[in-house]
Structure 1
Amino acid sequence: MIINLIKKKHVDRILKILGKEKELYFGQLGAELNIDPSSLNKILKEMYSLNLVNKREEKSDYKLAKVYYSLSPLGIELLKRYEYLEELDNLKESKDDNSNSKNIQTNNTGTIINNVGDINGDLTFHK
């Protein structure tokens, strides 16, 4: 299930790098992301089984063929939705920061005034 996959470590980073670079071979992905090869292989296999990535082998004179990965149309759609969710989180955090700074005021007696009520006393706040 895709929902279970996107909760896993490194999946978001793999989506982003493949979205940016279009196609990378296994060694490039591992080097770019600094992920253990066995972990990367396991994640890519799962992403491939869910049709999130395309896989292409390039035969060469070497013993092992280079295996290239790119995002499939479904993977591109997942990346768009993931980025959208990140934007929503950023907007929420920005809104929370702005509303907290607008709703809290202090006066010269040490009273904190907000939209919930007053807290009287000698309070000091540190950032």
Structure 2
Amino acid sequence: MIYRALVKKLDPHIEEEVILEIEGIEFTGFSSVCPYEIEVGKKYPVLVGFTILDELVIRESIEKTKELERIGLGYQYYIRGVLHEDSIDAGIVLTDEDEYFSEYPYLIGEHVEIKVDRISVEFLRDSV
């Protein structure tokens, strides 16, 4: 899903790190694609996904929450929300570009928690 994200902060040392706010949800992302210069305080069209470096850890959640919870000061997050075939709705929809969820058809439509190594952000040229 394409969102208009407000850039809250850019890291002066790590070029790809960006703090965004989408629909009231603030998170630190890793900008994998940025075809133009971005500025703090401006809104840009983005796609939001996630990156798993080792192994996907996914479990059904008893809690019916939708949230992004940062783990420590790094880029890892717990994503809690409703699992769909190609995305997870955690208050904002994060796409599953690598088709991890295809291995979990029994969890589609359920509340789950996944641990990701980072939230990936792709800045788009198209306007929303």
Flag the structure with larger Rg: 1
TM-score w.r.t. length of structure 2: 0.25
More helix per residue? 1
More strand per residue? 2
TM-score w.r.t. length of structure 1: 0.25
